Amino acid sequence: MKLTPEQLKEIKEQQLQSNTTKRVTVPELEKILFDALPVLDHGFIRVVDYMGDDTSVVQAARVSYGKGTKKVSTDAGLIKYLMRHWHSTPFEMCEIKYHIKLPIFIARQWIRHRTANVNEYSARYSILDKEFYLPNSEHLAAQSQNNRQGRGDVIEGEKAKQVLDLLKGDAEQTYKNYELMLNERYDGSVIDENAVGLARELARMNLTLNTYTQWYWKTDLLNLMNFLRLRADRHAQYEIRAYADVMLETVKKWVPITFDAFMDYRVGGTEVSAKGKEVIKKLINGDNINIDQSELSKREWNELMEAFDLKDKLI
């Protein structure tokens, strides 16, 4: 992870601030506020602002009948109830803003979650940093044979080296051409005094998707949990999961009661259809049932068996 002198100066200035507020603050989150938490080889996540805490969720849920906050155990019970029964609006009362540095190809996957306010670094106005994401060898894998959007066996040895050399070589060459078209290096120096530089908004199209970009990403707690439920899942692409795992830790510091409920009911829990429920009931009663009798598709059956650790226990 590399921070520019300007970013380091900004972080130091932000951390030296001493503001007085009547709003709720969270001591554990305050400890890491503005810190750059490393992700991948050059990326980071910073919490730069937030609003609300667990009590904000509780207050929003109780507003309809005018009761304020109670003791923590009562608040925990209510938050678990809200999570268990898929109540949503109380969790929308909390918001958080992140500053994130990430590869462009992950940003394009990330932006599919259209439930946040985003402002990205503009390569129309500024020159992108000369930084590219290069995966560690253990994350290089062949295309999965049974999953169109997944990875298969790890690529090792000479083949892995060849792939990494190609990724690095292409990124460096396209960045060199990017500088030539701009007639300007990433450090601001001019390449040729007599050359005319191409507009930045045009030169940027030449860059590889593993080039790093940055953005501010602000969302409410409900939509953050929806994002993390998908992107912190073991089936998610490793690179975006790396960011989601760091964000999970910030949620734990910010709203610990909600975090526990989220991990229990959303991440650790499972959803069962009406047909799946009938299968489980029959199994509990000791009845024999197979996929043909269940009226479930092969994928649904396998997911149900995996969720309840039954895959190798049925004949």
Integer Cα distance of 92 and 193 in angstroms:
54
Note whether residue 82 is domain-resident: yes
3-state secondary structure 175-203: HHHHHHHHCECCCCCECCCCCCCCCHHHH
Judged against a pLDDT cut of 90, whether residue 277 lies above it is answered with: yes
Q: Are residues 24 and 73 in the same domain?
A: yes
- The pLDDT tens digits of the residues spanning 35-66 come to 999 999 999 999 999 999 999 999 999 875 55
Q: How many CB atoms lie within 10 A of CB 156?
A: 12
Give 8's strand partners.
none
60 plus 10 within the same structural domain: yes
pLDDT-above-70 percentage for the chain: 92
Query: Which tokens sit at 237?
Result: 């692409």
Whether 195 and 183 have beta carbons less than 8 Å apart is answered as yes
218 and 303 housed in the same domain: no
Q: What is the CATH number of the domain that holds 34?
A: 3.30.1360.170
Residue 312 confidence (pLDDT)? 66
Q: Which of 200, 204, 231, 266 is an active site residue?
A: 231
- Position 5 confidence tier, pLDDT thresholds 50, 70, 90: confident
Q: For residue 78, what pLDDT is reported?
A: 94
Residues 239 and 292 in one domain: no
Domain assignment of residue 159, yes or no: no
Q: Which residues pair with 37 in a beta bridge?
A: 45
In terms of residue numbers, what domain contains 109?
1-125+210-269
Residue 87 lies in a domain: yes
Say what the pLDDT of residue 111 is: 94
Q: Is residue 51 part of a domain?
A: yes
If you average pLDDT over every residue of the chain, what do you get?
90
Are 249 and 297 within one domain?
no
Residues 68 and 8 placed together within one structural domain of the fold = yes
Highest mean pLDDT among 48-52, 72-76, 134-138: 48-52
The CA distance from 172 to 161, in Å, is: 16
What count of residues does the chain have? 315
What average pLDDT does the segment 7-24 reach?
A: 85
CA distance 38 to 46: 9
pLDDT tens readout for residues 160-195: 899 999 999 999 999 999 999 999 888 888 988 888
Any domain includes 148? no
Residue 283 has pLDDT above 70, yes or no: yes
Query: Do 95 and 59 share a domain, yes or no?
Result: yes
- pLDDT at position 176, please? 95
pLDDT range class, residue 200, cuts 50, 70, 90: very high
What's the token pair of residue 72? Answer: 């923590």
Residue 315, C-beta contacts closer than 8 angstroms, at least 6 positions apart: none
Structural domain includes residue 134: no
Residue 69 has pLDDT above 70, yes or no: no
Same domain, 11 and 62: yes
- Verify whether residue 231 is a known catalytic residue: yes
Q: Does residue 132 belong to any structural domain of this protein?
A: no
pLDDT at 256: 97
pLDDT computed for residue 11 by the predictor: 87
What's the total number of domains in the chain?
2
Q: Is the pLDDT of residue 215 over 60?
A: yes
CA-based R_g, the chain, Å: 24
The verdict on 43 and 114 lying in the same domain is yes
Predicted structure pTM score? 0.88
**Residue 218 shares a structural domain with residue 292:** no
User: Would 84 be classed as within a structural domain?
Assistant: yes
Clarify whether residues 107 and 94 are in a common domain: yes
Is the pLDDT assigned to residue 21 strictly greater than 80? yes
